[in-house]
A = this chain, B = another copy of it.
Amino acid sequence: MLDNQPSTMFATLDTPSVLIDLDVAERNVIRFQSFANKAKISVRPHIKTHKLPRLAKAQIKAGAVGITCQKISEAEVMANAGLDDILITYNILSASKLDRLNRLASKIKLTVVADNHTVIEGLSAAFSNTGPLRVLVECDTGAGRCGVQTPEAACEIAQRINKTTGLKFGGLMTYPPTDKEIETQKWLTDAQRACLNTGLRVDTISTGGTPGIWKADQVPIATEYRPGTYIYNDRSLVTRSTAAWDDCALTVLATVISTPTETRAIIDAGSKVLTSDLLGMDGYGYAVGHPNLTIHALSEEHGIMRSKAPHKLSVGQRVRIIPNHVCVVTNMMDRITLLRGKKIEGEEIVAARGCVT
């Protein structure tokens, strides 16, 4: 159980602080790696959750085949730290980004994605002399974000990549819809078949998403899985029973700064730490050990906690909060604190924080 004694709780740390329990994080990594090993699916974790080279390396050490980044700037941070096999699951456009991509590809094993001809043309222009760059076709198997809309369109883009100077078709990639494993399996199977029918080999079929990790084996066509949040877990994943509270590695340490009424208490963590992400839930996090409290509203520096019965909190008391969505919380902090249980291991700079380009 998490330590939630207000009097003894990390008195040396200033608040608000973001705490990472390495014991829990490492256990989460190993647990899914074992599951994936049994399912014979490679793991390529998304570093957007932790943004820390040391945890990316821990994931590799546990058996991951490489890492996933969303933006080039994240990949640059990770490559500089020694990570050498990176998939960027993002359509890359613009001369400056393509320059950076080219430099990155000269250092590491790099794969990117594309879902349209404009992106393919840009990649080709950048890699015609230095390629081939490995490109997966991004497929919209139902999540409604990026991606080609049909298996036939996936095959068409795959052929285009295959014919384009500087590029090499590497396979298919999807950010899949949640709880639609059968549909995703069918979509990807149809796309693979269409590619094979035109003589294209489909080496990689990459899927992901922590909500679906324990059903990764229900999309057996996939060759690799890209989980992100699984390393820390959060309130959204506990709410959907993907994880338990004890599997949550990230907590926000906050202080009660005001108790205006018996049923309202204010903490010093607002949307600048917890963020406004609701992910369909009510409230902005779970106050560990205080199931009677809701984090009812946030302004930038204030968290407004409410209770039906008197909360009995006092000014100066500390609370530990499991946020709704950990990936966005790590982006708010320049530094986080590493723990093992109740023992503070040290502070760590969030190296890939703020990487939006």
Contacts and interface: CB of A to CB of B under 8 A. Distances in A.
Interface residues of A, number: 58
Given A144-B304, A260-B147, A16 B357 contact: yes
Interface stretch (A128-136, A164-172, A235-243, A265-273): A265-273
A91 interface: yes
Contacts of A15: 94, 357
Interface stretch (A36-44, A183-191, A327-335): A327-335
A48 interface: yes
Given A96-B14, A97-B14, A302-B146, A328 B255 contact: no
A315 B266 contact: no
Interface string A118-155: 11000000000000000000101000111111000000
A354 interface: yes
A70 to B, nearest CB: 5
A218 interface: no
A244 interface: no
Q: How many copies does the complex hold?
A: 2
Interface in A312-327: 314-316, 327
A115 interface: yes
Nearest to A314: B118
A146 B71 CA distance: 39
B70 A257 contact: no
B356 A332 contact: yes
A276 B278 contact: yes
A258 interface: yes
A258 B91 contact: yes
Contacts of A271: 275, 277, 328
Interface string A82-109: 0000000011011011000000000000
Nearest to A275: B276
A269 to B, nearest CB: 8
A328 B302 CA distance: 13
A328 B146 CA distance: 26
A197 interface: no
A266 B146 contact: yes
A259 interface: yes
Nearest to A258: B146
Lowest 10 A-B CB distances belong to which pairs?
A118-B315, A276-B276, A146-B258, A91-B257, A70-B301, A276-B277, A146-B266, A14-B357, A272-B356, A116-B315
Given A91-B258, A146-B302, A276-B278, 12 more contacts: A14-B97, A90-B257, A115-B258, A144-B260, A145-B260, A146-B258, A147-B260, A149-B261, A271-B328, A272-B328, A272-B356, A275-B276
